[in-house]
Amino acid sequence: MTPWPYPVLVAHRGAGKLAPENTLAALRLGAQFGYRMFEFDVKLCADHELVLMHDALLNRTTNATGRVAAATLADLARIDAGSWHSAAYAGESVPTLARVASWLRANDHLANIEIKPSPGSDEETGAAVALEVRELWRDAAVPPLLSSFSVTALEAARAHAPELPRALLFTTLPEDWLETCLGLGCVAVDTHYATLSAEIIARAHEAGLRVAAYTVNDPERAEELLGWGLDVLITDAVDQIKP
């Protein structure tokens, strides 16, 4: 396998559940626990800006409603993305990818960017993320790892910025998972931890692929997976599973 520049432990959506997900506050909190790499979700808003958001709707993680894809950046700047979590985070904003990139690079932190298209925008989102990442991390020693459940999004990312490393996400591993990952030119497979075994990790490694697992929150299970040779462990439990 080629050298792997990423740390083993990655904080899920910033600091897991300890702060409002996909916000700068969550990233900063994760860093306070010693994490150097962060997984977060990116999608397009109405005026084709890239913002951090997991859901297609604003309802769950902001004080607004409606589709992210229908909201402009100006709309998003006016909403509260923190008070749903707790009063301490009231007023936290929806960050742009550019703003997060600036903070990450200034603090020598790394990123696993999940391309999270709104319905029907897989190709457009994959291309936009790849082009923006190429620019925002220009001359960076270690680029972000791009991941997605969408084959179409990863194909678009590959077409527009083939040099950026990619990982295909799975909930469960189909029979052709290895062939699909290799066909996309991925450097890693990223799957729910319950689908993994020592044999699957060994098979991936034999093919030259790294293996990432989400979302591992039990320290004992984390130890077992790492003992099998897991390369990347994505966790909410940043206060319990420490670098």
Active site residues: 12, 54
The Cα–Cα gap between 113 and 51 comes to 11
Q: To 10 degrees, the CA torsion angle through 62, 74, 103, 213?
A: 40
Element spanning 75, H or E: helix 73-77
Looking at residue 177, its amino acid is: W
Name residue 152's amino acid: T
Distance between CA atoms of residues 33 and 232, nearest Å: 17
For residue 65, give both structure tokens: 């409603």
Query: Contact at 8 Å (CB) between 100 and 35?
Result: no
Beta strands of the chain (E only): which ranges?
Answer: 9-12, 37-44, 50-52, 110-115, 145-148, 166-170, 188-192, 210-214, 232-235
